[in-house]
Amino acid sequence: MAKNKKINMTKTTDNYSAFEGLNLSNTRSENESYEDYKKRLKQNKEILKLYNTVGRDNFKEMFPGGVQEALKKAEETPQETLGEAK
């Protein structure tokens, strides 16, 4: 006869929040210009599309600190201008 073994199945919680600090609201803020509002909506649409395409686990690998952290790093990084003739 097989002995009964106690299996310890602990539930681990994952506190990863991909969209923490990101304004996903479709309403325009009082202090937000119309251009910034449209830009934010387009950016949110692209982020959510990517999230739904690759899934949560792959998204977490791509953005381990969340999307807001990646956007801050992108703003700090100087961008080269394209198509500039010298």
pLDDT tens digits along 19-32: 998 999 999 999 99
Q: How many helices (H) and strands (E) does the chain have?
A: 3, 0
pLDDT tens digits along 32-57: 999 999 999 999 999 999 999 999 99
* CA 10 to mean position of chain CA atoms: 28
Greatest Cα pair distance in the chain: 83
> What span, in angstroms and rounded, lies between the C-alpha atoms of 18 and 67?
6
pLDDT tens digits along 72-83: 888 888 766 666
68, 22 Cβ separation under 8 angstroms:
yes
